[in-house]
Chains A and B, each alone.
Chain A
Amino acid sequence: MRPAEPAPAVRVEVERLALEGRTLMEGLVLDLPAGRTTCLLGPSGVGKSTLLRLTAGLLPGAVRSASDGLPLDGRIAWMAQSDLLLPWLTVEDNLLLGFRLRGARGGEFARARERAGELLARVGLAERAHALPHQLSGGMRQRAALARTLVEDRPIVLMDEPFSALDAITRHRLQDLAAELLGGRTVLLVTHSPLEALRLGHEVRVLDGAPARLGPPLRPPGSPPRTADPALLALEARLLEELAGAPRPTLEAAA
């Protein structure tokens, strides 16, 4: 499902960001290539989610720009670790929440509904459109959340550890599904799993240190979703070592 409008490249520049007197980021520039998935790895508490929220414009303190020169507001979709489905709305109504908030009516709403139906079919939830979130399993809820993220058809998608609460098998399947459905969009995916980053990212970036710095982009061979073959697993092991504190050069050699 490619986006209706071509996805721009995005640049986020943070001159200096301090929280509670601690400098979190300084002179940091994040480039998201157009129509590509960038995965952001890093130890807990380093500021991955903060960088994501800065990109979304939910936090002040960053200069954001798109390669097409248009403003970013209204072109960003968001998916978080929890499904963020409103428990009192059905799955379909949850998907259509954004349209309801914007007061979509008549033809526009009908089209949105049709698209929601298509997406629910794509994520295998066509039968459960009228179920309430608590009637679904964790994996189903996260699939519904993925469908909701895509129903808006926005060229830029930000994801904050979207699959981390799922079991390994469900996570693997959802990664494949996400890679397929997110094709052609500019995606920033924050994760703490090196394997997830390597399977899904055109580029993998590591955020580390205090104040946090971005490592050079790592571009694994092939295109996502990659299979977890021995080469990828070896790369995962090296990434893991680096994240755990081993020196950086090993990674650049691998790339």
Chain B
Amino acid sequence: MARALESPPASLPAPAERAEPAAREDRLARILAPIVIAILVVGGWEAIVRVHEIPHYILPGPSLIARELVESWPVLWPSLLITVKIAALALAAAIVGGVGLALLCSLSRWIEIALFPYAVVLQVTPVVSIAPLILIYVDHTLTAVVLCAWIVAFFPILSNTMLGLASADHNLRDLFELYGASRWQQLRLLRLPTALPYFLGGLRIAGGLSLIGAVVAEYVAGTAGTGTGLAFRVLEAQYRLNIPRMFAGLLLLALTGVAIYLLFGALSHLLLHRWHESAVRRER
């Protein structure tokens, strides 16, 4: 019996050979499982709508939404570009503002003490309630909308970058000091690379939030502005009881959010996969 335990049966492949197909199965499952869920949900939805003959102005079926998406593409696509432009401008401003302020805070504790509470206030005040004020006081609608989206996207970048800049190992700081590194060198060669993974984490959150911020701002701006973003199209469709178009607009927004998330995920992987714990594949 003891002998039988020592040598595995010949039919069992070596662990390394078994691991390969297992990894492939895992990857396949990651792609297939969500697709299966999507087919079930969309199929079930279509079936319920057809069986119960639900009118399209109450709940349109997926096929009708798909047709609407194709038919109103000439209206929806330019609107999507506007919303994406707002989100992108807001995110760019959030990166500049967030990283800039984080750097200032890391250079001087006084700046941090003086300014950080206001960053928190900005973060915790619901943007829906600030947006009408901003729209009143800022003449240029695009600027106002971008400002609203910026408020939402700014904080994750600021707080993550601050955390990252403060995370450099104190022994490494000692080492840099013994090597006679200047403050600027310490920032460039030690603190900024240390902060990069944290910043990228913040960017992934802020990317999605900038889109949400843009949509909220467009909703609040509504017909008051020049409003032709995708959120405005959804609102407009609602007023006209064009429910399929509402769904089409929402679908497009959701897909855009996913695309932004994937984009920053890929960027993060690209920048970190060589060295950072989160992205490095362990050698066993």
Contact = CB atoms under 8 A, between A and B. Distances in A.
Contacts of A101: 176, 179-181, 185, 189
B275 A102 contact: no
Interface in A64-97: 73-74, 76-78, 80, 82, 84, 86-88, 97
Nearest to A100: B189
A251 interface: no
A132 B185 contact: no
B178 A88 contact: no
B193 interface: yes
Given A58-B177, A74-B180, A78-B178, A88 B274 contact: yes
B92 to A, nearest CB: 25
The 3 tightest CB contacts between A and B, nearest first, are A98-B179, A88-B275, A87-B275
B178 A134 contact: no
Nearest to B181: A101
Given A58-B177, A78-B178, A134 B280 contact: yes
A74 B180 CA distance: 7
Contacts of A132: 274-275
B142 to A, nearest CB: 39
Chain B contact residues (Cβ within 8 angstroms of A): what range? 20 to 34
B198 to A, nearest CB: 14
Interface in A120-176: 132-135
Contact of A58 (B172, B178, B181): B178
Contacts of B179: 97-98, 101-102
Contacts of B277: 87, 134
A84 B280 contact: no
Interface of B: 169, 171-172, 174-181, 185, 189-190, 193, 274-277, 280, 283
A56 B174 contact: yes
Contacts of B274: 88, 132
A53 interface: yes
Given A84-B169, A101-B181, A135 B174 contact: no
29 contacts: A53-B174, A56-B174, A56-B178, A58-B174, A58-B177, A73-B180, A77-B178, A78-B174, A78-B178, A80-B175, A82-B171, A84-B175, A86-B172, A86-B190, A86-B193, A87-B276, A87-B277, A88-B193, A88-B274, A88-B276, A97-B179, A101-B176, A101-B179, A101-B180, A101-B181, A101-B185, A102-B180, A132-B274, A134-B275
A98 B274 CA distance: 23
A159 to B, nearest CB: 12
B18 to A, nearest CB: 25
A88 B277 CA distance: 11
Nearest to A132: B275
Contacts of B283: 135
Contacts of A74: 180
Contacts of B193: 86, 88
A76 B178 contact: yes
